[in-house]
């Protein structure tokens, strides 16, 4: 991989987007590598939680790489969005392993869209986030028009998208866009601490919970029915036997 780094330690995979000279902008190659990395962590039995972050102190991801699409036709633009959504952003959202975005600086355009596709977000206090696409004459194309209203409500999302402005970490926190704001030094340790709490629980049940929560946001799918199905399926798993047996035996479950 040329544009990303992957480290697996203590069952946590940290994926770092590593193009600091371009503020980690998402070019085609980086998107392809990230897509491959998500497949790899999904299939790696040693990985239970994923932390996604950016290299350097300045940026998580400053957006899609503008230099790559500046001369695109409408058809090419449509294909860019479709391919990106299918190959990466939807894959991140639907990964069965929790993906935490550690937003360590600018998260703009495709960068904020990537953070929003993750299951939740923690920000450093220097983070600034926004969807500046309309200032370039386009609209968000990697799910931003859908996920931002889901996360912060339609009115705030409309304002952010229409003004193309950036909000600081404290505002993002007050909007519920990021769950916690910490110093840069504390960012990865905080993500690891939360990952530690997650890893005490059943990975199979967590994967099913991700499915059920996401189902509520898919047109034509009844999230309540998905919940019933996933809830029922849990009863057939080894994790359910272990979890309930451990409780009754007054010991900690080993998942
Ligand atoms: N695509 C391509 N290159 C990008 C980029 C992007 N989205 N964001 C930053 N870069 C590049 C810059 O072109 C510059 O490269 P260079 O040194 O070869 O000229 C380098 O990253 C550093 O960025 P720079 O603009 O010099 O840093 P800054 O501190 O002055 O400004 C930002 C930081 C984030 C405000 C500014 O880079 C920016 O506005 N980026 C674009 C954000 C955007 O519109 N994203 C949405 C894309 S759809």
pLDDT digits (tens, 9 = 90+) for 68-92: 999 999 999 999 999 999 999 999 9
Give, using CA atoms, the residue closest to atom 20 of ligand 1. 22
Element (H, E) at 141: none
How open is the CA angle 215-92-201, to the nearest 5 degrees? 75
User: Considering the entire predicted model, what is its pTM?
Assistant: 0.98
From 3, 20, 23, 84, the mutation candidate for ligand 1 (largest count of ligand atoms within 8 A of CB) is 23
Give, using CA atoms, the residue closest to atom 34 of ligand 1. 62
Catalytic residue among 42, 93, 133, 249: 133
Spatial contact of 125 and 183, defined as CB atoms under 8 Å apart: yes
CB burial readout 76-87, b (16+ within 10 A) else e: eeeebbeebbee
Sign of the alpha-carbon torsion through 114, 116, 119, 121: positive
Q: Is 2 a catalytic site residue?
A: no
Give, using CA atoms, the residue closest to atom 18 of ligand 1. 22
Alpha-carbon distance of 251 to 55, in angstroms, equals: 41
Catalytic residue among 33, 68, 79, 113: 113
Residues 49-61 pLDDT 10s: 999 999 999 999 9
Residues 183-230 pLDDT 10s: 999 999 999 999 999 999 999 999 999 999 999 999 999 999 999 999
Q: Is the CB of 164 under 6 A from ligand 1?
A: no
Give, using CA atoms, the residue closest to atom 47 of ligand 1. 63
Q: Quote the pLDDT of residue 237.
A: 98
Q: Is 249 a catalytic site residue?
A: no
Q: Quote the pLDDT of residue 211.
A: 98
Alpha-carbon distance of 110 to 28, in angstroms, equals: 12
Residues 95-150 pLDDT 10s: 999 999 999 999 999 999 999 999 999 999 999 999 999 999 999 999 999 999 99
């Amino acid at each position: 991989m040329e544009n990303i780094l992957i480290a697996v330690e203590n069952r946590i995979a940290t994926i770092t987007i590593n193009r600091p000279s371009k503020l980690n902008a998402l070019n085609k190659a980086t998107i392809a590598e990230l897509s491959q990395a998500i497949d790899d962590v999904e299939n790696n039995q040693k990985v239970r939680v994923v932390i996604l972050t950016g290299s350097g102190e300045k940026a998580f991801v400053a957006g899609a790489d503008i230099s790559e699409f500046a001369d695109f036709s409408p058809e090419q633009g449509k294909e860019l969005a479709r391919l990106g959504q299918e190959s990466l952003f939807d894959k991140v959202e639907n990964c069965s392993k929790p993906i935490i975005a550690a937003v360590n600086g600018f998260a703009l355009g495709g960068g904020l869209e990537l953070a929003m596709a993750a299951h939740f977000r923690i920000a450093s206090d220097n983070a600034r986030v926004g969807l500046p696409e309309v200032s370039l004459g386009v609209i968000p194309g990697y799910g931003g028009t859908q996920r931002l209203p889901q996360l912060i409500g339609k009115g705030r999302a409309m304002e952010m998208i229409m003004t193309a402005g950036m909000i600081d970490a404290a505002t993002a926190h007050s909007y519920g866009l990021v769950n916690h704001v910490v110093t840069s030094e504390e960012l990865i340790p905080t993500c690891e601490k939360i990952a530690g709490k997650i890893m005490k629980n059943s990975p199979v049940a967590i994967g099913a919970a991700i499915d059920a929560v996401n189902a509520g946001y898919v047109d034509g799918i009844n999230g309540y029915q998905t919940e019933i199905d996933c809830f029922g399926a849990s009863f057939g798993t080894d994790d359910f036997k272990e979890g309930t047996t451990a409780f009754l035996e007054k010991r900690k479950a080993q998942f």
